[in-house]
Amino acid sequence: MTHPLPSPDRPLKIGTRGSPLALWQAHETRRCLMAALDLPEGAFEIVIIKVTGDQILDKPLKEIGGKGLFTREIEEALLAGAIDIAVHSMKDMPTLQPEGLVLDCYLPREDVRDGFVSPHHGGLDDLPQGAVVGSSSLRRRAQLGLRRPDLKLVEFRGNVQTRMRKLDEGVAVATFLAMAGLNRLGMAHVARTAISPDEMLPAVAQGAIGIERRLADARVAAMLDRIHDHATGLRLAAERTFLLTLDGSCETPIAGLAVLEGESLWLRGEILRPDGTQSISGERRGLARDGAALGRDLAQELLSRAPKDFFGWH
């Protein structure tokens, strides 16, 4: 590598949110870079940045600005040079980055499934009629409405620890958390069961960690290239192009999952009415290198099948 490497005197600054899961992801990114570049821990500095999405917990995301609430302040710090890279949960990321930033490095993807979490019930089918379920995810709420229209759904925002406390307080009898986050926090036992994608297709990019950088920063680009997971990149190219073509946001219930099968890729996608009264789904198979085209094509098909009033933005 021709560019100077980070050192304890001039550490690489890693920007992150301050939740336990976000900090785990930042530490994992540091661990991967330490191993790939043979550098000590002191060559990297983790910088916690407060984001709006973590501070306003009593309102749905769609009411306060959507996905960008988890990234805006971090991206502003990246553009200003206060940090060198930003570590994100990819399912929180808008499909387009601000001018001057790029997302082209992913760590190996974790479990993509949703976990069913409840103190007293073993699974979704075990919930009694009219049970109260907490979720802040429009996708999960719509999928639950489709499968169990009898359930009462309540807003349930906050990190893993906050949501577990709300269950203990009886705000709801069950919720759903990404298995990836539970696994990373050593809390897989919290989930009563992991739900197959055949039952609940996950959020686009669920389980993936992305590392954002300045587009013109060739030094950082060379370092991140050493830890990029190519397989995850192929899968996310299909899923995020699918989401982009649908104009996906926090106001739109969208699910999507790409699976690699050798040199081929299998992409499934689903769009839902926010109230869970209708779902439109489809799939594509093709070469993994054509993932973006597969995602675009599948999105266009689902849009062509959706009534004009299907989404609020139609």
pLDDT band at 293 (very low <50, low <70, confident <90, very high): very high
Q: With DSSP H G I counted as helix, E B as strand and the rest as coil, what are the percentages for the chain, rounded to 5? A: 40, 25, 40
Q: Could you say which DSSP state residue 207 is in?
A: T
Q: Could you say which DSSP state residue 42 is in?
A: G
Multiple choice CATH, 240-305, 3.40.50.300, 3.40.50.11270, 3.30.160.40, 3.90.1170.50: 3.30.160.40
Q: Could you say which DSSP state residue 189 is in?
A: G
Task: State the catalytic residues.
Answer: 92
Identify the H or E element spanning 132: strand 132-134
Q: What is the pLDDT of residue 15?
A: 98
> CA-CA-CA-CA torsion for 206, 22, 121, 113, nearest 10 degrees?
20
> Does 12-108+208-228 carry CATH code 3.40.190.10?
yes
State the average pLDDT over residues 151-171. 88
Q: Could you say which DSSP state residue 12 is in?
A: E
Structure tokens at 64: 């306060």
Supply angle C-alpha 307, 313, 314, rounded to 5: 30
Q: Are 16 and 26 in contact (CB under 8 A)?
A: yes
Q: Are 68 and 60 in contact (CB under 8 A)?
A: no
Multiple choice CATH, 114-195, 3.30.800.10, 3.40.190.10, 3.40.50.300, 3.40.50.720: 3.40.190.10
| Nearest to 211, CA basis, from 112, 53, 104, 94 | 104
Domains 12-108+208-228 and 114-195 belong to one CATH topology: yes
pLDDT higher than 90, residue 302: yes
The rounded distance, in Å, linking the Cα atoms of 264 and 286 is: 6
How confident is the model over 185-238, as pLDDT tens digits? 999 999 999 999 999 999 999 999 999 999 999 999 999 999 999 999 999 999
> Domain coordinates of the chain in residue numbers?
12-108+208-228, 114-195, 240-305
